[in-house]
């Protein structure tokens, strides 16, 4: 299977988060993921959280990378259509990575119910099929993946999902693919990532 990879340099400035969202949205169309798919909004939210963490917690420049299985007609880096070996648009894994120059390990926190921040990796854990981090050069790379293929549903209504470096565990079955809004404990009104994170 061929892979389409794109990357963007991110400056250590909070305004870069909205620029990263705009950049990612503009790239989704060429990847075979429609702007109205729940997967698109989930990816934008994951990108927002990972870029925010890099900008806020490291103060270092970063690199945002997105990798998609190449779809028939998807434009490559030179604008040419990449051939596809996929069996259809529902197959493959989408990977988002943010690499920064800080060697400090990411730390998942449990935010208080009324807190307005501190949920970044909690959201990543809840929305991504897998996530983790690893050293890269003098810094680190935090990544997450979403599978576009069918998930295996367990008899009890849960689905088995591999998670980061913690092995396999079960999580409740999500309708659609992922959530197009933040989990209910973050707010009562569904909002797009641009409304939540501006």
Give the mean model confidence (pLDDT) for residues 71-92.
44
Tokens representing residue 116 in the block: 């307005």
pLDDT tens profile 112-164: 666 556 567 888 999 999 999 999 999 999 999 999 864 444 444 554 444 33
CA distance 100 to 124: 17
> Tell me, what CATH number does 125's domain have?
3.30.565.10
What per-residue confidence (pLDDT) applies to 140?
Answer: 95
The whole domain housing 171 covers 3-196
pLDDT tens profile 22-41: 999 999 877 878 888 899 99
* Other beta carbons less than 10 A from residue 141's beta carbon: 17
Q: How many residues does the chain have?
A: 198
Q: Which of 56, 60, 57, 45 is nearest to 10 (CA)?
A: 60
- Is this model's pTM higher than 0.85 or not? no
Strand partners, 36: none
User: Taking a C-beta distance cutoff of 8 angstroms, is the pair 127, 193 a contact?
Assistant: no
Instruction: Tell me: pLDDT of 88 over 70.
Output: no
Tokens representing residue 129 in the block: 């099929």
Tokens representing residue 18 in the block: 């909205």
Phi-psi region of 3 (alpha: psi -120 to 50; beta: other; left: phi over 0): beta
User: Which has the higher per-residue pLDDT, 82 or 140?
Assistant: 140
Q: Look over the chain and give the mean of its residue pLDDT values, rounded to a whole number.
A: 71
Domain count, the chain: 1
């Amino acid at each position: 299977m061929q892979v389409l990879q794109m990357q963007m340099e991110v400056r250590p400035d909070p305004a870069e988060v909205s620029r990263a969202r705009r950049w990612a949205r503009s790239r989704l169309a060429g990847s075979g993921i429609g702007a109205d798919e729940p997967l698109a909004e989930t990816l934008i939210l994951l990108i927002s959280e990972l870029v925010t963490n890099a900008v806020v917690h490291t103060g270092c420049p970063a690199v945002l990378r997105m990798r998609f299985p190449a779809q028939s007609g998807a434009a490559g880096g030179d604008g040419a259509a990449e051939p596809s070996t996929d069996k259809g648009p529902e197959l493959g894994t989408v990977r988002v990575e943010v690499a920064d120059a800080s060697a400090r390990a990411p730390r998942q926190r449990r935010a208080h119910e009324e807190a307005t921040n501190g949920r970044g990796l909690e959201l990543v854990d809840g929305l991504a099929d897998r996530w983790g981090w690893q050293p890269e050069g003098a810094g680190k790379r935090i990544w997450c993946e979403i599978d576009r293929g069918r998930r295996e549903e367990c008899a009890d209504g849960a689905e088995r999902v591999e998670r980061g470096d913690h092995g396999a565990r079960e999580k409740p079955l999500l309708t659609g693919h992922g959530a197009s809004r933040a989990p209910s404990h973050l707010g009562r009104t569904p909002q797009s990532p641009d409304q939540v994170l501006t």
